[in-house]
Amino acid sequence: MSTYSSAPNATTSAPGATTAGGDHEMEEAITAAIVIQVNIFIFGLMGLVILLRFPQLVGVLRAKCGRPFLQLLGRGAVPPTLQQKIAKHGMTRSNSATRQPLEFPATTAWSEESHESVKREKITIFPELPPGGYSDKLCPPHVASAPSFLTPVISLLRRPVLPGLSAIQFGILMNYTYILLYGLFLCQLPLVFALAQKSSFLGTLLGYGYESLNYFHRYAGIVAVWTGNIHCVYYIFKWTNAGTFSTNIARSKNAWGLVLMVCMNMLWFFSTSSWRKKCYNIFLWTHTIAIVVLFPAPYALACVALYGVDRIMRLVKSRFATASVTHIPQLDLAYIQIPTINSGWRAGQHVRLRILSGGMGVFGWTESHPFTIASASGSNDGLVLLCKKAGDWTGRLVHLAKELSRDVEGQGKLNVWVEGPFGGPARTVFSSFSGALLVVGGSGISFGLSMVEELLGKDLKRESRIKYIELVWIVQDPEAATLFIPILTSLIQQSEFSMLRVSIHYTRALTKKVEILGRTEATPFAPVAVAHPNLTLTPGRPNLKRQLENVIDNAVGLGSGKDSLPPTGVSVGVCGPRSLADSVVQAVADVDSAAKYRAGGVEVHEEAFGW
Question: Edge-to-edge strand order for the sheet containing 532-539?
Answer: 528-530, 532-539, 499-506, 468-475, 435-441, 570-576, 602-608
Predicted pLDDT of residue 32: 66
Predicted pLDDT of residue 17: 45
Confidence of residue 512 (pLDDT cuts 50, 70, 90): low
Q: How far apart are CA 496 and CA 459, in angstroms?
A: 7
Predicted pLDDT of residue 377: 84
Structural domains of the chain ordered from first start: 40-62+162-314 (no CATH), 140-161+428-611 (3.40.50.80), 323-422 (2.40.30.10)
Q: Are 350 and 384 in contact (CB under 8 A)?
A: no
Confidence of residue 611 (pLDDT cuts 50, 70, 90): low
Predicted pLDDT of residue 523: 53
CA atoms within 13 A on the CB side of 514: 22
Q: What single string gives the DSSP state of each residue in 166-218?
A: EHHHHHHHHHHHHHHHHS-SGGGHHHHHHHH-TT-HHHHHHT--HHHHHHHHH
Q: Average pLDDT, stretch 455-474? A: 89
* Residue 351 predicted with pLDDT over 50: yes
* Residue 403 predicted with pLDDT over 60: yes
Predicted pLDDT of residue 28: 61
Query: Mean pLDDT for the chain?
Result: 74
Looking at per-residue confidence, does 362 or 130 come out higher? Answer: 362
Nearest one of 559, 608, 577, 596 to 154, comparing CA atoms: 596
Predicted pLDDT of residue 12: 40
Predicted pLDDT of residue 352: 92
Cis peptide before 542 (omega within 30 of 0): no
Q: How far apart are CA 164 and CA 21, in angstroms?
A: 48
| Positive/negative CA dihedral, 22, 24, 25, 27 | positive
Predicted pLDDT of residue 566: 82
Q: What single string gives the DSSP state of each residue in 94-150?
A: SS-SSPPPPP--S--B--HHHHHHHHHT--SPPPPPPTT-S--SSSPPP--SS-GGG
Q: At a CB cut-off of 8 Å and minimum separation 6, what does 108 contact? A: 528, 529, 533
* Residue 123 predicted with pLDDT over 70: no
Q: Are 581 and 544 in contact (CB under 8 A)?
A: no
Q: Average pLDDT, stretch 555-573? A: 78
* Residue 577 predicted with pLDDT over 50: yes
Looking at per-residue confidence, does 126 or 264 come out higher? Answer: 264
Predicted pLDDT of residue 150: 66
Query: Rounded to the nearest 5°, which phi and psi values hold at 216?
Result: -70, -40
Angle, CA 377 vertex, CA 371 and CA 381 arms, to 5°: 80
Angle, CA 179 vertex, CA 57 and CA 611 arms, to 5°: 60
pLDDT in tens, 159-198: 777 777 777 777 777 666 656 655 555 566 667 767 777 7
Predicted pLDDT of residue 389: 83
Predicted pLDDT of residue 3: 39
From residue 103, give the alpha-carbon distance in Å to each of 123, 335, 503, 521, 546.
12, 31, 19, 17, 29
Angle, CA 68 vertex, CA 65 and CA 69 arms, to 5°: 155
pLDDT in tens, 306-345: 778 888 888 888 899 999 998 888 778 889 999 889 888 8
Lowest mean pLDDT among 293-307, 312-326, 501-515: 293-307
pTM tops 0.75, yes or no: no
